[in-house]
Amino acid sequence: MTAISVENIRKEFALSNGGSPSYGTVKDLFAGTWKRGTEKRKFVALDDVSFDVAAGQAMGLIGNNGAGKSTLLRIISRILRPTSGRVCLEGRVASLLEVGAGFHPELTGRENVFLSGSMMGMKRGEIVKKMDQITGFAAIGSFFDQPVRFYSTGMYMRLAFSVAAHIETEILLLDEVLAVGDAAFQQQCIERVLEVGRNGQSVILVSHNMTTMVRLCSSALLLDGGQVSYLGSASEAAARYLKIAEARQGERCYSEVESAPQDRVVRLRSLRIRSREGATLATVSIGDEFGVEVEFEVLEAGTALMPSVIIRNEWSAVLWTTDTSSEWHGRPRPVGCYKCVAWIPAHLLSAGSMRVSAAIHSFHPWTVHLEANDIVLFHALECPGGARGQFAGNIDGGVRPLLDWSVELDP
Amino acid sequence: MRVFDATGTPLIEELAEYRQYVDLFRFLALRDIRLRYRQTLLGVAWAIVQPLLPMLIFTVIFSRFLRPETGGVPYPLFIFTGLTLWTFVASSILAGSTAFISNFSLLNKVYFPRAILPTATVAVCAFDGLIAGAVVMVVTCFCGYLPTARWLLLPAIALWLVVLATAATLLAASLTVAFRDMKNVIPFLVQIWMYSTPVLYPANLIPMPLRFLAGANPMTGPLEAFRACLLHTAPDWRVIAESGLSLFVVILAAVSVYRFEEAHLAERA
């Protein structure tokens, strides 16, 4: 029996010229500058996506950032309406797109369980019946009757996941939530998802962790640029996904003008990780200096553009945001191609895989000309020495700078 | 089997869906009431202070300079009844007009029938309104206006007010999604509405060529009827009936604007 049937879903978002969602103002209405449908750029987030999920099946949903995974989950859970196509569902849906949606910091854990549960469509009686299971799973003990603002992040996450995991709906949608909490709790969550499948519930799971995805799901859908790139066995989908991800390591060039992130004023040409000598790098030793190079083309003169690069680590934490060329700060830019490089000093990063985003803004008024998230991946590799010294174990922290220590001994 | 497509849910189905979410409505309303009274120093007294303060100000201004003819009712009592009802409707609109835009992260993360958010704020204001209404009833009795058979109309007046506040709040909240600067415009509109409504003066004080405005105003009905109940004034039943018709116009407008904006609430709010 089919529990979820998605038929030819297409979703367009209207963008204003700045690239942000467009909306009118009363001022426009009176000033006669009110535009409806004209001059709006359209962004196609999903294009002709179809698939079925049978009852009791778990399907993985994978793809790069911006491939349309979240949009698809939002459409299935009715948060967004498709532009065309339709979704047929057999049974109730619970979606966990963000941990703790609907939680209020001033309310106690118990009050929040009622609020969050009822937001997902549970009746009061059902929540009361499940309360023991929820508290047992979350394991937060006496904090349960304290306002959640006193909770640690871990406790908050555990409680939030626990509510969602105990909803008895026929369909469960999960987005990246398995990445919360410590290893033991993650294991508990995985068990829970497996159990959900055994109870005849259907699950759609968005994950970047291919190992977990293949373990939990029998089939998977690989999205690329809003289109179905592969629909079939989970392991094959994972293999193809990793291949796509591989291709973008170290460099991203927009050779086709139409697909480049851009607006009226500026267009992104490329973003890459490079050495002083000019070679593109997919891996960087944390003991070496490297550069993040942004190339863009100014199409319309006169705007003081501020390009920036954002580096995220594998936990999606922003390591830093940087303005790449401060000598141009506040100076209107003439038309032309610009290549600017931010040099990242040696011994700053911690080891791991990094994702780089580029954005171009201007001030007065604050305008987002373009934003391209996580378009380049690279790996920062351990190097002997540096801030690690002789230590061989795991070192916590988003960055690992080599600092100057001064030591005074008072014998 | 439920089907979702570009056209959204039919109105009948959406209304049926609210039954499923009665508990959510209750939790949201209780949450806000609890948080409000947990945080404010004045607590329940706040409900009474809200209409009482403007009453003092308007009493000083109007009874000094304008002295409207209120049919023998003491002027402070006259406007206290009016302001109590008005405060409920106005505070619902002001508090609820941002219900969608300030809950963007929620709308974008969970599905529930969207109109629950503004209606829950109306419920919070209704809680204050009930307290204030009870105080008004005690005060009028204390001033010698004893209960009559007309008091049986009070539940109908309360229902009218709740329906009006809900429709107006839903309309304001939906318009605020459509026009981003609406949240600055709404306080002005509410002010204008107040002065064109017989809150501070009786409806029969409106000059004849403009008298139709009283009937075109869905707020006139409950005000006139409330005073007829509590202060034994003579009500103009025709104006009240006309006002009831305007209420339906407001409901229609609110439902159609909301249904239109609902399609892209999670994208634009």
Tokens 């003092």 correspond to what residue? B56
Count of domains observed in chain A: 2
In a domain, A380, yes or no: yes
CB contact under 8 A, A89 and B107: no
Report the CATH number at residue A151.
3.40.50.300
Structural domain of A343: 251-388
Query: Does A224 lie in the same domain as A193?
Result: yes
In a domain, B126, yes or no: yes
- Written as six digits, the tokens of A307 are 């390009």
In a domain, B219, yes or no: no
Q: Which residues of A touch B109 (CB under 8 A)?
A: 79, 97-98, 101-102
Please provide the average confidence, as pLDDT, over all residues in chain B: 87
Query: Does A128 lie in the same domain as A80?
Result: yes
Q: Which residues of A touch B269 (CB under 8 A)?
A: none
pTM above 0.90? no
Which residues, listed in sequence order, are joined to residue A94 by a DSSP beta bridge? A172
CB contact under 8 A, B109 and A114: no
The listed range with the strongest mean pLDDT (A67-71, A349-353, B247-251) is B247-251
Query: Does A182 lie in the same domain as A48?
Result: yes
CB contact under 8 A, B1 and A89: yes
Q: Which residues of B touch A85 (CB under 8 A)?
A: 5-6
List pLDDT tens digits, range B135-182.
Answer: 899 999 998 888 888 899 999 999 999 999 999 999 999 999 888 788
Collapsing DSSP to helix, strand or coil, B148 comes out as coil
Name the minimum distance, in Å, from the CA of B173 to any CA of chain A: 14
In a domain, A131, yes or no: yes
Cα gap A56→A5, rounded to integer Å: 14
pLDDT at B265: 84
Query: Does A240 lie in the same domain as A383?
Result: no
Query: Does A340 lie in the same domain as A218?
Result: no
In a domain, B246, yes or no: no
Neighbours of B16 (CB within 10 A): 11
Which of A245-259, B76-90, B94-108 shows the lowest per-residue confidence on average (mean pLDDT)? A245-259
Query: Does A260 lie in the same domain as A184?
Result: no
Instruction: Kindly state the helix (H) or strand (E) to which residue B239 belongs, with its residue range.
Output: helix B237-262
In a domain, A125, yes or no: yes
Report the CATH number at residue A367.
2.70.50.60
pLDDT at A84: 93
- CA count, 13 A, side-chain hemisphere, A374: 16
List pLDDT tens digits, range A279-335.
Answer: 888 888 888 899 999 999 999 888 888 888 888 876 656 777 776 556 788 888 899
Which of A91-95, A134-138, A264-268, A384-388 shows the lowest per-residue confidence on average (mean pLDDT)? A384-388
Handedness of CA A356, A359, A363, A367 (dihedral sign): negative
Query: Does A142 lie in the same domain as A161?
Result: yes
CB contact under 8 A, A101 and B2: no
Q: What is the ipTM score, two decimals?
A: 0.82
Q: E strands within chain B?
A: 2-5
DSSP codes joined into one string, A227-242: EEEEEEEHHHHHHHHH
Count of domains observed in chain B: 1
* Sheet architecture: strand order including A290-298: A251-253, A266-274, A290-298, A336-344
Q: Is B116 on the interface with A (CB under 8 A)?
A: no
Query: Does A279 lie in the same domain as A197?
Result: no
In a domain, B179, yes or no: yes
pLDDT at B165: 97
Which residues, listed in sequence order, are joined to residue A381 by a DSSP beta bridge? A285
- Written as six digits, the tokens of A253 are 């060039």
- Written as six digits, the tokens of A372 are 């391209």
Structural domain of B172: 11-202+252-268
- Written as six digits, the tokens of A407 are 């030591």
In a domain, B105, yes or no: yes
Domain's final residue, options A230, A246, A262:
A246
Neighbours of B13 (CB within 10 A): 10
Q: Which residues of B touch A30 (CB under 8 A)?
A: none
Query: Does A155 lie in the same domain as A226?
Result: yes
Domain's final residue, options A220, A246, A272:
A246
For residue B3, the chain A residue with the least C-alpha distance is: A88
Cα gap B243→B248, rounded to integer Å: 9
Mutate to test the interface with A, among B7, B19, B109 (most CBs of A within 10 A): B109
CB contact under 8 A, B185 and A89: no
Mutate to test the interface with A, among B3, B4, B25, B108 (most CBs of A within 10 A): B4
- Written as six digits, the tokens of B195 are 């002065």
Query: Does A134 lie in the same domain as A18?
Result: yes
Q: Is B182 on the interface with A (CB under 8 A)?
A: yes
Domain's final residue, options A224, A246, A268:
A246
Segment A123-139 shows an average pLDDT of 87
User: Rounded to the nearest 5 degrees, what angle is found at the Cα of A196, between the Cα atoms of A194 and A201?
Assistant: 125
Query: Does A56 lie in the same domain as A202?
Result: yes
Helix and strand totals (H; E) in chain B? 12, 1
Query: Does A169 lie in the same domain as A94?
Result: yes
Q: Which residues of B touch A88 (CB under 8 A)?
A: 1-3
In a domain, B122, yes or no: yes
pLDDT-based confidence at residue B215 (cuts at 50, 70, 90): confident
Q: Smallest Cα–Cα separation from A85: which of A98, A68, A97? A: A68
Q: Which residues of A touch B182 (CB under 8 A)?
A: 26
Cα gap B186→B183, rounded to integer Å: 5
List pLDDT tens digits, range A160-202.
Answer: 878 877 877 788 888 765 555 566 777 777 777 777 777 788 8
- Written as six digits, the tokens of A154 are 């871990």
Question: Please, is A148 exposed, middle or buried when counting C-beta atoms within 10 Å of its C-beta (0-12, 13-18, 19+)?
Answer: buried
In a domain, B1, yes or no: no
In a domain, B52, yes or no: yes
